[in-house]
Amino acid sequence: MPVGQRLCETGRWSYRATDNVRFLKLSERRVMTNVILLGPPGAGKGTQAKTLADRTGLTHVASGDLFRAALREGTELGMLAKSYMDRGELVPDEVVIRMILERIQQPDCASGVIFDGFPRTQEQARALEVALADHNARIDAVLFLAVPQDVLLRRIAGRQTCRTCGAIFNIYYFPSHRPGICDACGGKLYQRSDDSIETAQHRLDVYFAQTMPLIEYYQRQGILHEIDGQREIALVTEAMLKALSPYLAPAQP
Protein backbone atom coordinates (compact mmCIF):
# COMPACT_ATOMS: atom_id res chain seq x y z
CA MET A 1 0.00 0.00 0.00
CA PRO A 2 1.51 3.36 -1.04
CA VAL A 3 2.64 5.82 1.61
CA GLY A 4 -0.25 8.02 2.74
CA GLN A 5 -2.94 5.57 1.65
CA ARG A 6 -3.76 4.36 5.15
CA LEU A 7 -7.35 3.36 5.77
CA CYS A 8 -9.00 4.94 8.80
CA GLU A 9 -12.07 3.04 9.97
CA THR A 10 -14.78 5.26 11.46
CA GLY A 11 -17.66 2.87 11.95
CA ARG A 12 -19.84 2.84 8.83
CA TRP A 13 -17.51 4.24 6.26
CA SER A 14 -13.79 4.59 5.59
CA TYR A 15 -11.61 7.57 4.75
CA ARG A 16 -8.50 7.26 2.59
CA ALA A 17 -5.87 9.98 2.81
CA THR A 18 -4.36 9.38 -0.62
CA ASP A 19 -1.16 10.75 -2.10
CA ASN A 20 -3.33 13.21 -4.04
CA VAL A 21 -4.22 14.99 -0.78
CA ARG A 22 -1.11 16.35 0.93
CA PHE A 23 -1.75 17.82 4.35
CA LEU A 24 0.27 20.35 6.25
CA LYS A 25 1.67 19.06 9.53
CA LEU A 26 -0.86 20.54 11.89
CA SER A 27 1.42 19.78 14.85
CA GLU A 28 3.87 22.35 13.49
CA ARG A 29 1.30 25.13 13.70
CA ARG A 30 1.77 27.45 16.66
CA VAL A 31 -1.94 27.85 17.44
CA MET A 32 -4.95 26.03 16.02
CA THR A 33 -8.45 26.34 17.47
CA ASN A 34 -11.29 24.44 15.84
CA VAL A 35 -14.86 25.46 16.61
CA ILE A 36 -18.19 24.02 15.47
CA LEU A 37 -21.12 26.41 15.18
CA LEU A 38 -24.55 24.81 15.53
CA GLY A 39 -27.92 26.48 15.19
CA PRO A 40 -31.30 25.84 13.60
CA PRO A 41 -32.56 27.68 10.51
CA GLY A 42 -33.34 31.25 11.49
CA ALA A 43 -30.93 31.35 14.43
CA GLY A 44 -28.56 33.75 12.66
CA LYS A 45 -25.74 31.24 12.40
CA GLY A 46 -24.42 32.52 9.08
CA THR A 47 -24.24 36.11 10.31
CA GLN A 48 -22.51 35.10 13.54
CA ALA A 49 -20.04 32.81 11.77
CA LYS A 50 -18.79 35.65 9.57
CA THR A 51 -18.59 38.06 12.52
CA LEU A 52 -16.72 35.53 14.67
CA ALA A 53 -14.27 34.89 11.86
CA ASP A 54 -13.56 38.62 11.60
CA ARG A 55 -13.19 39.05 15.37
CA THR A 56 -11.11 35.93 16.11
CA GLY A 57 -8.97 35.43 13.01
CA LEU A 58 -10.36 31.92 12.60
CA THR A 59 -11.43 30.90 9.11
CA HIS A 60 -15.11 30.34 8.37
CA VAL A 61 -15.50 26.98 6.61
CA ALA A 62 -19.09 26.39 5.47
CA SER A 63 -19.80 23.00 3.96
CA GLY A 64 -22.33 24.51 1.54
CA ASP A 65 -19.75 26.97 0.24
CA LEU A 66 -17.24 24.13 -0.24
CA PHE A 67 -19.72 22.19 -2.35
CA ARG A 68 -20.61 25.18 -4.50
CA ALA A 69 -16.94 26.07 -5.05
CA ALA A 70 -15.97 22.48 -5.87
CA LEU A 71 -18.81 22.16 -8.36
CA ARG A 72 -18.07 25.55 -9.91
CA GLU A 73 -14.36 24.76 -10.30
CA GLY A 74 -14.96 21.20 -11.44
CA THR A 75 -12.51 19.68 -8.96
CA GLU A 76 -12.13 15.92 -8.60
CA LEU A 77 -14.10 15.92 -5.34
CA GLY A 78 -16.66 18.31 -6.79
CA MET A 79 -17.33 16.01 -9.72
CA LEU A 80 -17.50 13.02 -7.36
CA ALA A 81 -20.08 14.84 -5.22
CA LYS A 82 -22.01 15.82 -8.36
CA SER A 83 -22.21 12.19 -9.44
CA TYR A 84 -24.12 11.36 -6.25
CA MET A 85 -26.36 14.43 -6.46
CA ASP A 86 -27.20 13.71 -10.10
CA ARG A 87 -28.49 10.29 -8.99
CA GLY A 88 -30.57 11.93 -6.27
CA GLU A 89 -28.39 10.44 -3.54
CA LEU A 90 -26.85 12.08 -0.49
CA VAL A 91 -23.15 12.84 -0.81
CA PRO A 92 -21.34 10.30 1.43
CA ASP A 93 -19.66 11.55 4.60
CA GLU A 94 -16.34 10.33 3.23
CA VAL A 95 -16.48 12.82 0.36
CA VAL A 96 -17.54 15.71 2.60
CA ILE A 97 -14.74 14.95 5.08
CA ARG A 98 -12.20 14.87 2.26
CA MET A 99 -13.41 18.29 1.08
CA ILE A 100 -13.14 19.70 4.58
CA LEU A 101 -9.68 18.29 5.20
CA GLU A 102 -8.45 19.63 1.87
CA ARG A 103 -9.84 23.04 2.81
CA ILE A 104 -8.29 23.25 6.29
CA GLN A 105 -4.83 22.46 4.96
CA GLN A 106 -4.80 25.88 3.29
CA PRO A 107 -2.57 28.57 4.85
CA ASP A 108 -5.52 30.77 5.84
CA CYS A 109 -6.66 28.02 8.23
CA ALA A 110 -3.40 27.96 10.19
CA SER A 111 -4.94 29.66 13.24
CA GLY A 112 -8.03 27.47 13.23
CA VAL A 113 -11.46 27.01 11.75
CA ILE A 114 -15.12 27.73 12.44
CA PHE A 115 -17.06 24.77 11.00
CA ASP A 116 -20.50 25.80 9.75
CA GLY A 117 -23.00 23.25 8.42
CA PHE A 118 -20.97 20.18 9.34
CA PRO A 119 -21.24 17.90 11.20
CA ARG A 120 -24.99 17.37 11.28
CA THR A 121 -25.13 13.90 12.89
CA GLN A 122 -23.21 11.94 15.53
CA GLU A 123 -21.78 9.70 12.84
CA GLN A 124 -20.40 12.72 10.97
CA ALA A 125 -19.05 14.13 14.25
CA ARG A 126 -17.15 10.94 15.03
CA ALA A 127 -15.83 10.77 11.47
CA LEU A 128 -14.58 14.36 11.68
CA GLU A 129 -12.90 13.69 15.03
CA VAL A 130 -11.06 10.67 13.68
CA ALA A 131 -9.93 12.54 10.58
CA LEU A 132 -8.72 15.56 12.59
CA ALA A 133 -6.97 13.40 15.20
CA ASP A 134 -5.10 11.68 12.40
CA HIS A 135 -3.56 15.11 11.69
CA ASN A 136 -2.95 16.13 15.31
CA ALA A 137 -6.01 18.39 15.48
CA ARG A 138 -9.29 18.30 17.40
CA ILE A 139 -12.56 20.11 18.02
CA ASP A 140 -11.99 22.53 20.89
CA ALA A 141 -15.46 24.01 21.37
CA VAL A 142 -19.00 23.73 20.06
CA LEU A 143 -21.29 26.78 20.14
CA PHE A 144 -25.02 26.14 19.95
CA LEU A 145 -27.30 29.08 19.17
CA ALA A 146 -30.49 28.33 21.12
CA VAL A 147 -33.66 30.11 19.95
CA PRO A 148 -37.29 29.18 20.79
CA GLN A 149 -39.18 27.62 17.90
CA ASP A 150 -41.88 30.30 17.81
CA VAL A 151 -39.19 32.95 17.36
CA LEU A 152 -37.50 30.89 14.66
CA LEU A 153 -40.76 30.53 12.77
CA ARG A 154 -41.32 34.29 12.76
CA ARG A 155 -37.75 34.91 11.67
CA ILE A 156 -38.05 32.49 8.75
CA ALA A 157 -41.66 32.98 7.67
CA GLY A 158 -41.46 36.77 8.06
CA ARG A 159 -38.37 37.13 5.89
CA GLN A 160 -38.59 39.23 2.72
CA THR A 161 -35.81 39.74 0.18
CA CYS A 162 -35.31 42.54 -2.35
CA ARG A 163 -35.27 41.28 -5.93
CA THR A 164 -32.93 44.09 -6.96
CA CYS A 165 -30.24 44.46 -4.27
CA GLY A 166 -30.79 41.38 -2.08
CA ALA A 167 -31.47 43.37 1.11
CA ILE A 168 -33.36 41.34 3.73
CA PHE A 169 -36.30 42.52 5.85
CA ASN A 170 -38.69 40.84 8.25
CA ILE A 171 -42.35 41.76 8.57
CA TYR A 172 -42.28 40.95 12.31
CA TYR A 173 -38.93 42.33 13.44
CA PHE A 174 -37.62 44.91 10.96
CA PRO A 175 -40.19 45.61 8.23
CA SER A 176 -39.58 47.99 5.36
CA HIS A 177 -41.09 51.44 5.74
CA ARG A 178 -43.34 50.85 2.74
CA PRO A 179 -44.88 47.36 2.55
CA GLY A 180 -43.32 45.30 -0.23
CA ILE A 181 -40.78 48.00 -1.15
CA CYS A 182 -37.07 47.90 -0.33
CA ASP A 183 -35.84 50.81 1.82
CA ALA A 184 -32.37 50.59 0.29
CA CYS A 185 -33.10 50.75 -3.43
CA GLY A 186 -36.86 50.85 -3.93
CA GLY A 187 -36.93 47.37 -5.41
CA LYS A 188 -39.74 44.88 -4.96
CA LEU A 189 -39.66 42.56 -1.93
CA TYR A 190 -40.60 38.91 -2.20
CA GLN A 191 -40.76 35.84 0.02
CA ARG A 192 -38.80 32.74 -0.95
CA SER A 193 -40.91 29.62 -1.51
CA ASP A 194 -39.05 27.76 1.24
CA ASP A 195 -39.82 30.52 3.77
CA SER A 196 -43.51 29.67 4.19
CA ILE A 197 -44.78 28.69 7.66
CA GLU A 198 -45.34 25.07 6.60
CA THR A 199 -41.91 24.71 5.02
CA ALA A 200 -40.23 26.50 7.92
CA GLN A 201 -41.88 24.16 10.43
CA HIS A 202 -40.77 21.12 8.44
CA ARG A 203 -37.19 22.42 8.23
CA LEU A 204 -37.13 22.95 11.99
CA ASP A 205 -38.62 19.50 12.71
CA VAL A 206 -35.97 17.86 10.54
CA TYR A 207 -33.19 19.93 12.09
CA PHE A 208 -34.06 19.17 15.69
CA ALA A 209 -34.70 15.47 15.04
CA GLN A 210 -31.30 15.21 13.37
CA THR A 211 -29.26 17.56 15.51
CA MET A 212 -30.49 17.12 19.10
CA PRO A 213 -28.52 13.84 19.48
CA LEU A 214 -25.45 15.73 18.21
CA ILE A 215 -25.97 18.47 20.80
CA GLU A 216 -26.22 15.83 23.54
CA TYR A 217 -23.09 14.13 22.17
CA TYR A 218 -20.99 17.28 22.54
CA GLN A 219 -22.60 18.04 25.88
CA ARG A 220 -21.34 14.70 27.20
CA GLN A 221 -17.85 15.65 26.02
CA GLY A 222 -18.02 18.88 28.01
CA ILE A 223 -17.27 21.15 25.04
CA LEU A 224 -20.79 22.41 24.25
CA HIS A 225 -21.57 26.07 25.00
CA GLU A 226 -25.24 27.05 24.70
CA ILE A 227 -25.72 30.66 23.61
CA ASP A 228 -28.98 32.59 23.92
CA GLY A 229 -29.60 33.40 20.27
CA GLN A 230 -32.71 35.54 20.65
CA ARG A 231 -30.87 38.58 22.01
CA GLU A 232 -29.53 41.44 19.92
CA ILE A 233 -26.93 40.39 17.35
CA ALA A 234 -24.09 42.25 19.07
CA LEU A 235 -24.91 40.68 22.45
CA VAL A 236 -24.98 37.21 20.93
CA THR A 237 -21.58 37.85 19.35
CA GLU A 238 -20.09 38.97 22.68
CA ALA A 239 -21.49 35.89 24.44
CA MET A 240 -19.90 33.65 21.83
CA LEU A 241 -16.56 35.43 22.08
CA LYS A 242 -16.64 35.05 25.86
CA ALA A 243 -17.28 31.31 25.52
CA LEU A 244 -14.36 31.01 23.10
CA SER A 245 -11.90 33.15 25.06
CA PRO A 246 -10.20 30.22 26.89
CA TYR A 247 -9.44 28.56 23.57
CA LEU A 248 -8.14 31.68 21.87
CA ALA A 249 -5.43 32.52 24.41
CA PRO A 250 -2.01 33.08 22.78
CA ALA A 251 0.25 30.07 22.76
CA GLN A 252 3.25 30.13 25.06
CA PRO A 253 6.59 30.57 23.26
Helix H or strand E segment including 226: strand 224-228
Tens of pLDDT, residues 181-228: 999 999 999 998 778 888 889 889 988 888 889 999 999 999 999 999
Answer whether residue 24 shows pLDDT above 90: no
* Total number of domains in the chain: 1
Q: 164 in a domain, yes or no?
A: no
User: What is the residue range of 88's domain?
Assistant: 33-148+202-241
Give the residue numbers marked as catalytic: 45, 120, 159, 192, 203
- CA dihedral for 167, 182, 235, 44, sign (positive or negative): negative
Q: 94 in a domain, yes or no?
A: yes
Q: What is the pLDDT of residue 250?
A: 57
Q: 236 in a domain, yes or no?
A: yes
Tens of pLDDT, residues 38-70: 999 889 898 899 999 999 999 999 888 888 888
Q: 20 in a domain, yes or no?
A: no
Q: 7 in a domain, yes or no?
A: no
Percentage, residues of the chain above pLDDT 90:
45
Q: 10 in a domain, yes or no?
A: no
Q: Determine the Cα–Cα distance for residues 184 and 202; give it in Å rounded to an integer.
A: 32
pTM for this one? Answer: 0.76
Q: 246 in a domain, yes or no?
A: no
Q: What is the CATH number of the domain that holds 102?
A: 3.40.50.300
Q: 129 in a domain, yes or no?
A: yes
